[in-house]
C-alpha cells in the first residue's frame, strides 16, 4: 500500500448489491482518487478471509435469500466488525445489510435471521413494500435524498440515533418519522439510488473518517460538486 492510499472493502457484492448500491462503492473510489488517494478495492464474500486492514467498508441491499446466504459469514466476522466500528472504521450499510447490523430480521414467513447487534434496531417484514423517492433532514448531513424500496419495518431502540427525520417518504417504518441509524462512523440507511453520488456530504464524512484514521489528517481541497447538486435538486423536486 502506498503512502496515500485507502483500502476500500465491499461486503458481499455477490448477494447484497441491488438497486444501484454498487454506485456507493464507485462514488467513494472516485472521490478518494479526486482527493489524491490511491484506492485498493477488495470484495468480501462468504468464506473469504476477512480483510482486517480495511479502512472503509460498504455493503448494500439484497433479497431475503441473499441475507440467508451471508448471515452465517456475517456472524463469523461480527467480532471484527464491532471492534472496527468502535475503533472508528467507517461503514456504510444499505437496506438488507442495515437490517443485519441490528438485533434480528424476522421475514414474512416468520424465520428469524440473527443480526450482529452493532445497531440497537430490530426489523420485521411488513405487509407492503415502501417504495418511492425520499427526502430526510439529518443533523449531521443536512438534506439527504434517495430512493427507498423495502418491506422491512425497522424499529430503533430508545438510545439509537437515526440517520435523519423523514420529510417525504416512509423511512424506517412509515410511522415514527425516523430513517436509518447512526453510531460511531457507521451510517445505515434504506436509501438506494445510489445514496452517495447524490449526497456528497455523507460520502465525505466516510472518507474523512477513513483518511484521518489511516493517515492522521484530511486536508484536501473541496471538490466541485456542481453535477451532484443538480442531481440533488432534481431528486428533491420529484414526486413521491
Distance CA 29, CA 81 (A): 21
Where helices occur in 8-128 by DSSP H, the ranges are 22-34, 64-86, 96-101
Instruction: Out of 95, 103, 150, 185, pick the active-site residue.
Output: 95
Q: Is 129 annotated as a binding residue?
A: yes
What secondary structure letter does DSSP report for 161? Answer: B
Distance CA 141, CA 203 (A): 10
Q: Tell me if residue 185 is catalytic.
A: no
The position carrying cell 471484527 is 80
The position carrying cell 415502501 is 130
Instruction: Out of 103, 150, 185, 192, pick the active-site residue.
Output: 192
Q: Is the dihedral of CA 75, 77, 79, 85 positive or negative?
A: negative
List residues bridging with 57 in a β-sheet: 9, 91
Say how far residue 192 (Cα) sits from the centre of its chain: 9
Residue 83 has φ and ψ, to the nearest 5°, of: -65, -40
Pairing mode of beta strands 121-138, 104-106: parallel
Distance CA 187, CA 134 (A): 17
Binding residues for substrate, as ranges, are: 129
Catalytic residue annotation: 95, 192
Binding residues, as ranges, are: 129
Amino acid at each position: 500500500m502506498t503512502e496515500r492510499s485507502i483500502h476500500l472493502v465491499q461486503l458481499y457484492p455477490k448477494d447484497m448489491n441491488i438497486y444501484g448500491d454498487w454506485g456507493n462503492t464507485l462514488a467513494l473510489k472516485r472521490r478518494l482518487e479526486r482527493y489524491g488517494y490511491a484506492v485498493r478495492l477488495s470484495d468480501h464474500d462468504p468464506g473469504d478471509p476477512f480483510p482486517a486492514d480495511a479502512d472503509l467498508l460498504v455493503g448494500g441491499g439484497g433479497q431475503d435469500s441473499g441475507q440467508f446466504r451471508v448471515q452465517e459469514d456475517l456472524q463469523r466476522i461480527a467480532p471484527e466488525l464491532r471492534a472496527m466500528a468502535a475503533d472508528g472504521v467507517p461503514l456504510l450499510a444499505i437496506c438488507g445489510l442495515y437490517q443485519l447490523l441490528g438485533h434480528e430480521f424476522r421475514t414474512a414467513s416468520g424465520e428469524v435471521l440473527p443480526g450482529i447487534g452493532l445497531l440497537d434496531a430490530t426489523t420485521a417484514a411488513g405487509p407492503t413494500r415502501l417504495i418511492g423517492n425520499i427526502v430526510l433532514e439529518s443533523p449531521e448531513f443536512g438534506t439527504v435524498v434517495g430512493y427507498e424500496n423495502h418491506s422491512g419495518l425497522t424499529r430503533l431502540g430508545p438510545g439509537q440515533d437515526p440517520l435523519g427525520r423523514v420529510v417525504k417518504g416512509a423511512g424506517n417504518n412509515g410511522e415514527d418519522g425516523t430513517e436509518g441509524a447512526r453510531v460511531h462512523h457507521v451510517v445505515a440507511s434504506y436509501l438506494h439510488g445510489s445514496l452517495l453520488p447524490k449526497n456528497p456530504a455523507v460520502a465525505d464524512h466516510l472518507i474523512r473518517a477513513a483518511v484521518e484514521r489511516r493517515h492522521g489528517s484530511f486536508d484536501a481541497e473541496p471538490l466541485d460538486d456542481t453535477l451532484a447538486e443538480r442531481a440533488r435538486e432534481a431528486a428533491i423536486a420529484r414526486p413521491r
